């Protein structure tokens, strides 16, 4: 069965119609009333530095609280959409999802988060680029439910993606934030396959793989003192999202790169059981992460986690990571749906077709 999601211009903004190409309705028209929550678009973030030391290892809790307040609208906007899209299967026509789609569209129309404050703000830029990963995943979740990611939305995400690439490509940061920027580019390439994103994510992937040493550590993250373990976990999480997006893009898994990622996974697992291992090299007692440190890596990389993770980690907490697209297990499942399947329904971009228009077909092998 072949079907397509379309937005009908002459209907109201809140009306989404899903139709079978054969002519019979696939889904009833979803009408949202005027009860949708309002999230005024935020044009930029102006945030305080969150560390009190040169190694970026000792958090400034007062600054973190201040930043949380400053970015509350963004957090609430993301959480609302994430909760709507992560609802059980079959809820795609709910008022919440239609309201979420409207909110997403309103931020796209306003080009939210694409502006810079009067005085350059590093922490705001970093936060914006983290939110981008979540926005890309939300776009893919909307599309999986049959909602069109229209040209306004694509243009918005492209602008944010270009800003992220330009920032990290010309910067000196080659730690986990650099890997996250590659993940964002790969996710955007699933929405629109532009050469800039494809080239950049490939560059980041191989750079990240090359930084994993034979003992499973990453020099840049070892320099983070008491948070070396936490930042190894962040880097691992970013690598897993990038890995999943690349697989959905059609990149074959390299035995060499898989082996390096497994080294990283095993090193973190061993350190969770004996933090002193990493503490000696990092020259600091390691901070142990709460369940917040496991959400993305459990959702995207459960197959790579050794028995050490089961014994010493926190693998059974919530997998909903607000601001990063919501439930990580659901996000990973969405990317797996994009994999070509012989004789099955899979998202396939026809050559020469507008990439913002999803078409489900009996996809050929790639």
CATH number of domain containing 290: 1.50.10.100
* Closest alpha carbon to 323 in 128, 90, 64, 65: 128
Distances (CA, A) of 141 to 32, 92, 151, 165: 19, 10, 17, 23
Statement: the pTM of the whole predicted model exceeds 0.75: yes
Average the pLDDT over 85-99 and give the result. 80
Average the pLDDT over 163-176 and give the result. 87
The per-residue pLDDT for 347 is: 42
Q: Where residue 280 falls among pLDDT bands split at 50, 70, 90?
A: very high
- The answer on pLDDT for 24 being more than 50 is no
Q: Where residue 27 falls among pLDDT bands split at 50, 70, 90?
A: very low
- Residues 6 or more apart from 108 whose CB is under 8 A from it? 152, 153, 155, 156, 157
The per-residue pLDDT for 2 is: 35
Distances (CA, A) of 323 to 5, 74, 130, 132, 137: 26, 8, 8, 9, 10
The Cα–Cα gap between 323 and 92 comes to: 20
- Only one residue has tokens 């590093």, namely 122
Total domains in the fold of the chain = 1
Average the pLDDT over 269-281 and give the result. 95
The Cα–Cα gap between 366 and 361 comes to: 14
Structural domain containing residue 183: 3-362
The per-residue pLDDT for 90 is: 53
Average the pLDDT over 141-164 and give the result. 97
Average the pLDDT over 64-71 and give the result. 95
Q: Tell me, what DSSP letter sits at residue 42?
A: P
The per-residue pLDDT for 11 is: 36
Q: Percent of the chain beyond pLDDT 70?
A: 81
H/E stretch holding 278 reads: helix 276-282
The Cα–Cα gap between 194 and 207 comes to: 20
Burial of 204 (0-12, 13-18, 19+ CB in 10 A): buried
The per-residue pLDDT for 170 is: 85
- Only one residue has tokens 């439910």, namely 145
* Closest alpha carbon to 281 in 212, 218, 233, 222: 222
């Amino acid at each position: 069965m072949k079907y397509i999601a379309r937005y009908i211009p002459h209907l109201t903004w809140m009306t989404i119609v899903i139709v079978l190409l054969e002519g019979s309705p696939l889904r009833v028209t979803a009408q949202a009333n005027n009860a949708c929550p309002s999230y005024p678009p935020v044009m930029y973030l102006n945030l305080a530095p969150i560390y009190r030391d040169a190694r970026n290892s000792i958090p400034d809790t007062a600054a973190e609280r201040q930043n949380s307040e400053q970015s509350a609208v963004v957090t609430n906007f993301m959480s609302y959409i994430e909760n709507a899209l992560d609802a059980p299967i079959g809820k795609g026509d709910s008022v919440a999802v239609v309201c979420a789609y409207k909110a997403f569209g309103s931020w796209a129309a306003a080009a939210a988060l694409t502006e810079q404050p009067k005085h350059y703000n590093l922490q705001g830029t970093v936060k914006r680029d983290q939110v981008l990963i979540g926005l890309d995943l939300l776009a893919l979740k909307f599309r999986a439910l049959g909602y069109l990611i229209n040209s306004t939305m694509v243009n918005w995400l492209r602008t944010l993606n270009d800003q992220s690439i330009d920032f990290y490509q010309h910067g000196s940061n080659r730690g986990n934030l650099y890997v996250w920027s590659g993940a964002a580019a790969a996710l955007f390439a699933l929405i629109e396959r532009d050469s800039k994103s494809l080239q950049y994510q490939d560059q980041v992937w191989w750079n990240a793989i090359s930084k994993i040493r034979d003992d499973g550590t990453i020099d840049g993250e070892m320099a983070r003192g008491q948070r070396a373990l936490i930042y190894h976990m962040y880097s691992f999480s970013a690598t897993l999202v990038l890995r999943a997006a690349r697989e959905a893009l059609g990149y074959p898994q390299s035995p060499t790169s898989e082996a390096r990622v497994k080294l990283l996974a095993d090193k973190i697992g061993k350190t969770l059981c004996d933090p002193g291992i990493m503490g000696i090299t990092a020259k600091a007692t390691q901070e142990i992460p709460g369940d917040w440190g496991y959400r993305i890596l459990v959702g995207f990389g459960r197959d790579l986690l050794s028995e050490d993770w089961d014994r010493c980690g926190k693998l059974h907490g919530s997998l909903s990571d607000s601001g990063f697209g919501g439930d990580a297990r659901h996000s990973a499942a969405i990317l797996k749906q994009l994999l070509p399947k012989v004789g099955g329904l899979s998202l396939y971009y026809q050559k020469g077709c507008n990439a913002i228009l999803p078409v489900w077909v009996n996809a050929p092998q790639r």
